[in-house]
Structure 1
Amino acid sequence: MSSLLIEMDCQVHSPRLLEPVRIAGHTFYEIPCLQVQLSSGPHRGRGEAAGVFYLQDDPARMPAQLEAVRGALREGLGRDALRLGMPAGGARNALDCALWELEARRTGRPIWQLAGLNPPRPLRTVFTLSAHEPAEMAARALRGLHGQAQALKLKLTGNTDVDIERLRAVRRVRPEVWMGVDANQGYTPASIEALLPVLVDCRVRLLEQPFARGHEQDMAQVDFPLPTAADESCLDLMELETLPGRFDLVNIKLDKCGGLTEALMMARRARQLGLQVMVGNMGGSSLAAAPAFLLGQLCDVVDLDGPTVLAQDCSPGVRYEGGLVHCPSEVWG
């Protein structure tokens, strides 16, 4: 990127959710986000981040983090220097994505081309069922976008008996759908034993983050009968190196790793390590989902339904049709 003067504007907002979102150990009533806009002459670049809640990576603190690089931005700070000079997290993600879009607009080249990707195609995305009573989850699996979904992901809570009923209830009404589950660190090697045969019986294709971050060694204590994915257990490129032999797949989120720049590096390195790749996001509008959609072009599993939980998305936004997510170029990049 050239050294033309770059100015930065940051705003924190809290888009309203359609309803609370419940996972193991947490219930979300809103998802605060940081939006960054860069300007350089007539060109603009935007990025959005929600941060990483379990690391206390709070959007309210992000503008202060970005003030530390305002001077370097004015001198033409690039993505590579940003990645090396600022810790991973939501603030770096929003700024990194804004730099990508700014370069696209300066050069007249789409971001997918700048990133060495093929022209983006619509992707099958999972649609997440928040943890409710089993009958309610089954009913939701038949309604709206969930009813059109080709793939569903069930949030579990670590209450084994109820989680088993959740699985059976949803599989009963959606026998054809690809199904994954996200334990969100809610289990232990002892408590998960009763769940495993039910996962097999219900034809679950992926078990995400069964144990707590910091207890990755516990994965060796269990003979998992299905593929497992690391989410909280892998934040960035460095931690990716610890996954082979413990997990089969890594869930890359731009808020965790600090932007599209590192996320692309992670996806390519994961392939070298023999891992499959998943993309997810921590929440936010289509402005947050759009960069992850580009990463999704390299992924085996795509989890980009974040904007669907908002009462109002940005416009233009991503589209969901027939279980696929579409991201027109005018959304971002």
Structure 2
Amino acid sequence: MLRTLVARRDAFPLRTPFRISRGVKTVADVVTVEISADGATGRGEGVPYPHYGESVEGALAAIEAARGAIEGGATREELQGAMAAGAARNAVDCALWDLQAKLSGRSVTERLGRPAIAPTPTAITVSLDRPGAMAEAAAALADAPLVKIKVDRSDPEAQIRAVRAAAPRPRVIVDPNESWTIAEVERLQPLLAELRIDLLEQPLPANDDDALEGLAPLVPIAADESAHVAGDVDALAGKYQVINIKLDKTGGLTGALALADAAAAAGLGVMTGSMISSSLSIAPALVIAARSAFVDLDGPLWLSADRPGGVNGAGGVLTPPAPGFWGTS
């Protein structure tokens, strides 16, 4: 089947700055892919992440290099070998899933033998700031099902206590984004337990995973930056209890499904996450979210304006996109 490919850069300004330990984001720069065949068009989105050596220009170049294979009818499985895991392949892979749904008249979940996507509780992020400002942001989330706290090394105890005091009821994820040391992980375990934290996400730099070997944490620890593809799981078992699956790391829904299967086989829990993105990134991630203990897909809720027909996040619960937005005919 011959196809036509369009790939472009889109930018979505944020309604408020998003701060983590590595910096501040004010715009979501994404790569949008459209693949058309037989009168139908499938769409996908990738978010190149500089922390992984990616850029929008580099992602577009990678897609252009694969144009011949994509337009010539390469399958999703064939593209797993032709393109590296990352944002570029994510955009292409998800566009092909969407195209297949539209050509076949069967949704992605139908093809996978799974129920249609249901409303899904998601973490709402309190970005890094002064403890008082973080408490103010958390107070507005006191009734949300799940809150995620971005912290650093400056005073994580004050940051976490401020948020928990302002929002005593939600489940809570603490995310230092690789900024802690193993000494801090060990020292802060009693605090995390005291404040009923449900998950600690990637506290150490990814290349320091071995320091977690043999640790019996009071709170489960999730691998994010350390876990990209299914082949990473064997090295992470025994160090982490949960794997955070992001389609921009796995290189699409195809790789994400493989990573979820590998995590389950290793006895690890699954979390679904995303970059700051539009709903076109979130729609395929909801397929993985359906089998996840933790879901962190609030990216579009930070945008000044999302793509039309995207998810709605009222009350910390994501309502699926409109029919035909992605993955349905």
Q: TM-score, normalised by structure 2?
A: 0.96
Distance in 2 (CA, whole Å) between partners of 1:248 and 1:315 is: 37
> Residue 198 of structure 1 aligns to a residue in which SS?
helix
Instruction: Tell me, yes or no, if structure 1 residue 79 matches structure 2 residue 76.
Output: yes
Distance in 2 (CA, whole Å) between partners of 1:147 and 1:199 is: 18
Contact 1:137 1:166 in 2 (8 A): yes
For 1:74, give the aligned amino acid. Answer: E
Give the corresponding residue for 1:331.
325
Give the corresponding residue for 2:153.
158
Instruction: Give 1:13's match in structure 2, choosing from 10, 30, 43.
Output: 10
Unaligned 5+ segments in structure 1 are none
Q: TM-score, normalised by structure 1?
A: 0.95
> Residue 222 of structure 2 aligns to a residue in which SS?
strand
User: What's the CA shift string for 1:100-150, capped at 9, x where partnerless?
Assistant: 00000110000111223222211111111101111111111122xx34411
> Residue 141 of structure 1 aligns to a residue in which SS?
helix
> Residue 290 of structure 1 aligns to a residue in which SS?
helix
Contact 2:123 2:298 in 1 (8 A): yes
Give the corresponding residue for 2:34.
37
For 1:264, give the aligned amino acid. Answer: L
Distance in 1 (CA, whole Å) between partners of 2:183 and 2:49 is: 28
Give the corresponding residue for 2:178.
185
Instruction: Give 1:250's match in structure 2, choosing from 243, 259, 264.
Output: 243
User: What's the CA shift string for 1:142-196, capped at 9, x where partnerless?
Assistant: 22xx34411101001122xx21111111111211110110010011112333322
Unaligned 5+ segments in structure 2 are none
Instruction: Give 2:43's match in structure 1, choosing from 46, 67, 72.
Output: 46
For 2:200, give the aligned amino acid. Answer: L
For 1:117, give the aligned amino acid. Answer: R
Distance in 2 (CA, whole Å) between partners of 1:131 and 1:257 is: 26
Give the corresponding residue for 1:167.
160
For 1:277, give the aligned amino acid. Answer: V
Distance in 2 (CA, whole Å) between partners of 1:237 and 1:70 is: 26
Alignment of 1:234-245 (within 5 A): 234-245=227-238
Contact 1:37 1:44 in 2 (8 A): yes
Give the corresponding residue for 1:129.
126
Instruction: Tell me, yes or no, if structure 1 residue 271 matches structure 2 residue 271.
Output: no
Distance in 1 (CA, whole Å) between partners of 2:7 and 2:271 is: 29
> Residue 25 of structure 2 aligns to a residue in which SS?
strand
Distance in 2 (CA, whole Å) between partners of 1:142 and 1:128 is: 12
Q: Offset of 1:269 from its aligned partner?
A: 1.8
Q: Offset of 1:29 from its aligned partner?
A: 2.4
Distance in 1 (CA, whole Å) between partners of 2:61 and 2:161 is: 47
Instruction: Tell me, yes or no, if structure 1 residue 309 matches structure 2 residue 288.
Output: no
For 1:154, give the aligned amino acid. Answer: I
For 2:31, give the aligned amino acid. Answer: L
Q: Offset of 1:31 from its aligned partner?
A: 2.1
Calculate the aligned-residue CA RMSD, in Å.
1.3
**Judging changes above 3 Å, is the alpha-carbon distance between structure 1 residues 203 and 18 closer, same or farther for their aligned structure 2 residues?**
same
Q: Offset of 1:221 from its aligned partner?
A: 6.3
